[in-house]
Structure 1
């Protein structure tokens, strides 16, 4: 956003340099990202002077050039070769001297001494468009005879110099998106040192000259239009704007169009309130209706694009057709032209969400939509309307021929905020005088409705959409008081106890290196996704989705609850590009909503970091020595357990639960100390169909923050390699199909913690000679005593104990 230094001075009296103003604005929250000196004519006409043509004769070697002698003042005469057909002796003309830089849009060219067909030329006699004072290029610009020779053209054409602040406006500070809004902040800061007030131009002179030509107004869509104010001005003359108005607009990068349109743009950047001027004679039926049009209606906008409307696009219509996209862009057939003599001025307050969605849908981003979608001042419509109407009367003539129409069905109320001075002092870390706090609040137009001891009942104006809580008011006071004025205290209240924590970044790098060495590629995806994913599958509670209030599109309207769909999008993207064999990992955050009634908004939401692994396609391709082998769930399981081992987790202590739902065909939930640490799955057919995928996809999500926490508790212990031999014993069991190997393994380790070093599964059999619903497991046990050689009797006793455990817990039979 651009703010003019000179323009600011129309509303506040100060003697600060542009650099000082820049620093103050940045300190008070309107960050100045750039400061640029600008001229009303690019280049400032430096090097261009007023000259007089003393002699003019045809060029001997050309039938269209003339050789002139030009007096540049103070007896300085130059020979200049000129190609204009209208150059003549005795003319007073603008002359660009050697070394002058002239501009044509963004292009620049420098005047040099030259020889043209044998004749030397020391400058250029200029046309209007060549020096930026007009559009004509029919010939050189001939000035009145009273123009003094030798006068710098910058002085003759009243070239203004200004400074422009480029402000990086944050979304919450739309109140600063105008010169008056910026002046308000500047005055609030300066008022700390000496009484300073910003002043808005008076509109008391506004009155209706007559009311014999009213235009009827109807708001059908009150949910889209909260307030609509308007008036009519008749008998105007549309023409070029005066220099002061054009210079104001050009300083902030706008191109002047005509006096009426320029006034609406001027008032927009002055007050922050968008306006629109209709040619009133084009309002069919003398009736303005604020409504929506049927889905698919065609509407041609000012840029001559034919747009297809949605049923939610708010339109300003006449009795027969649409005239503008409300708050966004005008129509081709309703705007002001050179023939307009009667205008209908609109000043409204539209629903920010509706404006934003329509602007995004149609790919439009205008000065009006920028402000409406962030929230304009609902109580500023009348002031801006009167200001514009008075300027039109002054610069275009005419009469105000209607009273102000003002439809305001539901008035915007100030935000009520209870503010504790005691809590403020604690937060600020400094005792700030009560009277100074009240002074700042008054400067920011925050009303103190009631004072009860240390508690203030505040009424915040509706245009401050970002100030609705006590913390917001605290921020407002501190930014005006100055964060740099809050000294560091003599005492630091802190606990000196030190609790070492794992270096999460180093751990992440460690796991990344390990996975990369295992042929994985790292993926990075957007945390914002589509809510449709969580609505389509019962595994997720759609109500727990963290929805965006102002999404850019329906595909980016929610924070993700899982990394699964990000992984599936990556698989789909690669599959569509014939890259079917994938091993990907991603560290990413997931989000969910806990409650909606928490007093602390932060407690209502959960944010966790997870590590996702995804495999699909072939583990390896055909080579001369190895056959093609598809990837499998067990490869995923191996990689996931390797990550856990690397993070110091004893995988033998992990409990496993079978998993199956609408996103998981088959899978496992890993729990450690009764808390979930990971989920591994074969992605369901429903999910694959959602992404139009055929091949199996294997997905794991690990709770990274829990892994980091566990790593911090790991104590590395070194154990001497046993001198005594280990013994292997095997056991074949007949079991129900529902019994898992992990259950058997955990039971064995619990039954004998000291001697059993390893439990393995080396054969699974189902089929002939095995009854229905049963299976055969062949288990291996590595048994070892660290202090002595085991005897057969001890080993047999242990195996008997295991047999009894399996029979009792799982109904197993020894085969």
Structure 2
């Protein structure tokens, strides 16, 4: 959101430098992401010349370019190639001649040279406002007044007014700050909290007469439209706005349309109240009806687009049909034109949820909709009308107010909150004086209704729908007082707490810590996915996908049934940025439906991807990569005390491999992403994936609450053992046998090598090297005790699998 410094300064009694204002606003929670200046560099404007376009002709080699002869007061006119859509003969324009340097956005500069453009010489450049720093307007070249004298420096013919723009990143709850006056209110409150003298200047406006005739108004849905004001104005002359209005709108990147539209836009950005003007002559019987639309009712928007309405859409209509999508978009047939002489001016408060659903449903994102859906101020409807009337009177001397009507359902009431001053001090860690608290609250329009025994009864302004609890009020006080003024104590007192029951989050955090220890990074992806990833599914599988009725974009239209596509997007994103040795994991939900029932499951996806043989000197190392990845999965199973009872082939949509089961429950799927799936994301290196079904895992694991143990005083003992086994022997059976030994000193083991060679170890055999880690707690182990444990392991493997020990 852009806020103009010069416009903002009109409502503040104290002078404050733009940099200081930006810092102060950021400290209050209105983060100024960028601070830019406009108005132009005088040195540059001095070098630019006023020129007159003598002729305009088509470029022989380019449809979108034109050839212009431009007089700049010298002996011969310049030939300039220009692509601006608004270029016409007879215009006075800003000309950058050969040798002038035009600053660019990236800090570089463009030096104008005589050059050929599509085969035609160009001896300069006709400038837009953005190119010379006057504004962000780049829709066409800057057209100067006809009185500008050819050959003069541009600096001599324009009023150079330097301004600054605050680009504020608003949080969704701060609709009250979506206007210049709202930002001024926070800035003044923060300045006063710092002990500086400042106040908000009141906006003066003439009140509406109290004896106006009633205008036709019928509200059919008081829930979706709790308040509505309608004012009939005659004597309207549609023309250009006053220069100060045009300049104000231009300072925030808005283009002037006409005096009526500009007045509504100005009020929107001044106080945050959306207004809408209907041509009264195009409203049947000059009577407005606010109602829900009929299902599939047709409506033509202001930009001539036909849409079918939903029965939940709120419309402003007359007896003939919809005139406007309430709070979202105007209609074609009732808009203000050059022939308009009387208008019906709307100032309303609409239900936030209704407006947001309509806006998203039809893809119509407007400034008005953004304010309504975040929560507008229902108490300034009439003031918004008054302000618009004041502005219109400047250009419409015969303007008259001919009628007024107001509807109030009575449902909107200010929220009351009780705040304990003791609780304020306790939660903030500060000791506030009563005077400081009251000053901050009053500066934020929060009224103190009563004070008794350290308790304040507060009335919250209705434009702050997010402030409903004492904690919310405390946050408001602290952000104005300054979070940076809250001192950090020298000593922090804390007590250890113990949980007597199993905590899923703590368990997941420990599992994430284990993965971090193996060098894996956690990712978080969107639960909303793209249906195009699942186009190859059969009808039965497609029927289980949860589709979104009102998707934010045309692509993100389903709830993800699988974690892998989003994981592959992250992998592709990193590979494209030269980070291709990837170890990633994600905890997330997948979604499905069965008939009318919807379900979700918790999953853990682990990814390993490396260029492998694409770069390694020794050739194909993908098998070693997979063994390393499998070793990680085994370590996780060991940590979770899971040992598969059976396994079978897994062929999924995006990957294939093996799935592992306990009690016929699949708890793990392990394999490699399919080539076709990788092609979708332009990935040309191996990607291995492990999918843990967390819901099934939680039903299988021991949920004993972990207890603290003393740190062992002896070092771990490491041993490697190489055994010969049958070639088709699965590792999970070997791992389960080791786990069943219940050797307390054996704390970890993993497969480190898989060797196969008929000449050296025999036909249909393989040699596995398994790494063992032993720890004996506080006892220093003897060689004999270590050897005894290894002998027990060897004996078990020999008896169970007929394993031979490699010599």
| TM-score (structure 2 length as normaliser) | 0.61
151-160 or 402-411: bigger deviation:
151-160
- Give the deviation of 1:97 after TM superposition: 5.4
Aligned pair count reads 597
Question: Whole-Å Cα distance in 2 between the matches of residues 137 and 589 of structure 1?
Answer: 51
Report whether the alignment pairs 1:507 with 2:514. Answer: yes
Alignment of 1:665-814 (within 5 A): 680=667, 700-701=693-694, 702-703=697-698
* Residue of structure 2 in register with 1:198 after alignment: 200
1:611 aligns with one of 604, 607, 615:
604
Q: Which residue of 2 aligns with 1:283?
A: 283
Residue 333 (str. 1) matches residue 342 (str. 2)? no
Q: Would the aligned equivalents of 2:236 and 2:396 in 1 still touch at CA under 8 Å?
A: yes
The CA distance in 1 between the partners of 2:40 and 2:258, in whole Å, is: 17
Q: Is the Cα contact below 8 Å between 1:82 and 1:125 reproduced in 2?
A: no
Q: 1:102 touches 1:109 (CA, 8 Å); kept in 2?
A: yes
Partner of 1:199, secondary structure, is coil
Say if 1:389 and 1:400, in contact at 8 Å, map to a contact too. no
Structure with max Cα Rg: 1
Aligned to 2:188: 187
Q: Deviations over 1:368-407 (max 9, x none)?
A: 1111111000111111111012211222333333343211
Q: How does 1:373-388 map to 2 (within 5 A)?
A: 373-388=373-388
* Secondary structure, aligned partner of 1:647: helix
* Separation in 1, partners of 2:32, 2:471: 25
Contact 2:590–2:601 (CA<8 Å) still a contact in 1? Answer: yes
Contact 1:162 1:251 (8 Å CA) reproduced: yes
Q: Which residue number corresponds to residue 178 of structure 1?
A: 179
Alpha carbons 2:587, 2:603 under 8 Å: kept: yes
The aligned runs of 1:216-615 (5 Å cut-off) are 216-494=216-494, 504-509=511-516, 526-527=526-527, 565-566=561-562, 587-589=586-588, 611=604
Q: Kindly provide the CA deviation profile for residues 24-62 of structure 1, in whole angstroms up to 9, marking residues without a partner as x.
A: 000011000001112389998453456999xx9xxxxxx
Aligned partners of 1:51 and 1:95 also within 8 Å:
yes
**Cα deviations by residue, 1:284-313 (Å, 9 ceiling, x for unpaired):** 121111112221122111222111111111
SS at match of 2:360: helix
Change (3 A) 1:491 1:670: farther
List gaps (5 residues or longer) in structure 2: 55-66, 81-86, 500-505, 531-547, 570-582, 592-599, 608-629, 646-658, 670-689, 720-735, 745-787, 790-807
Any idea what SS the aligned residue of 2:345 has? strand
Q: 1:81 matched to which residue of 2?
A: 77
> Hey, what does 2:3 align to over in structure 1?
3
Aligned-pair CA distance for 1:140: 9.5
| 1:61-72 aligned within 5 A | 70=73
Secondary structure at the counterpart of residue 203 of structure 1 = coil
| Matched residue SS, 2:226 | strand
Confirm or deny that 1:143 pairs with 2:143.
no
**Separation of aligned partners in 2, 1:294 and 1:183:** 42
Structure 1, unpaired ranges of 5+:
57-63, 71-77, 517-521, 531-547, 574-583, 593-606, 615-637, 655-665, 672-677, 683-696, 722-744, 755-785, 788-815
User: Does structure 2 conserve the Cα–Cα contact (< 8 Å) formed by 1:172 and 1:466?
Assistant: yes
Any idea what the Cα deviations from partners look like across 1:126-171, whole Å, max 9, x if unmatched?
A: 9999999999999997527xx7x98653453324321000000010
| TM-fit CA distance, 1:524 | 6.9
- Residues of 1 paired with 2:126 and 2:636: CA distance? 81
Separation (CA, whole Å) in 1 of partners of 2:2 and 2:495: 47
Relative distance call for 1:80 and 1:352 in structure 2 (3 A) is: same
Is the Cα–Cα contact under 8 Å of residues 174 and 374 in structure 1 kept in the other structure?
yes
Q: Is the 8 A contact 2:241 2:259 kept in 1?
A: yes
Give the Å deviation of 1:206: 3.9
Q: Indicate how the Cα distance of structure 1 residues 474 and 79 shifts in structure 2: closer, same or farther if over 3 A, else same.
A: same
Tell me how large the CA RMSD over aligned residues is. 5.8
Distance 1:189 1:104 in 2: 36
Cα distance between partner residues in 1 of 2:88 and 2:589: 74
Cα gap change, 1:420 to 1:524, in 2 (>3 Å): closer
Distance (Å, rounded) in 2 between the aligned partners of 1:435 and 1:667: 67
In the aligned structure 2, how far is the partner of 1:650 from the partner of 1:95? 76
**Cα distance change, pair 52–246 in 1 and its aligned pair in 2 (3 A):** closer
User: CA 1:270/1:555 → structure 2, altered by over 3 Å: closer, same or farther?
Assistant: same
User: Counterpart of 1:649?
Assistant: 641
Q: How far did 1:248 drift?
A: 0.9
Pair 98,375 (structure 1): closer, same or farther in 2 beyond 3 Å: same
* Corresponding residue number in structure 2 for 1:620: none
After superposition, what is the alpha-carbon deviation per residue over 1:619-661, rounded to whole angstroms, capped at 9, x for unaligned?
A: xxxxxxxxxxxxxxxxxxx999946642063869x9xxxxxxx
CA contact (8 A) 1:229 1:405 kept: yes
TM-score (norm 1): 0.61
Question: Secondary structure of 1:410's partner?
Answer: coil
In the TM superposition, what are the counterparts of 1:150-169 in structure 2 within 5 Å? 152-169=153-170
Q: Secondary structure at the match of 1:270?
A: helix
Q: CA, structure 1 residues 510+8, in 2 after alignment: closer, same or farther (shift >3 Å)?
A: closer
**Cα distance, 1:186 vs. partner?**
0.6
Equivalent-residue separation in structure 2 for 1:703 and 1:370 (angstroms): 43
- Following superposition, the deviation at residue 216 of structure 1 comes to 0.4
Q: Which moved more, 1:350-359 or 1:34-43?
A: 34-43
Query: Contact conserved, 2:100 with 2:111, CA < 8 A, in 1?
Result: yes
- Residues in 2 aligned to 1:417 and 1:456: alpha-carbon distance in whole angstroms: 8
SS in 2 for 1:379: coil
Q: 1:284, 1:318 within 8 Å by CA — same for their partners in 2? A: yes
**Structure 2 CA distance, aligned partners of 1:83 and 1:66?**
5
**Cα gap change, 1:200/1:591 in structure 2, threshold over 3 Å: closer, same or farther?**
farther
Post-superposition CA distance 1:340-384 (Å, at most 9, x none): 111111111111111111111111111011111110001111111
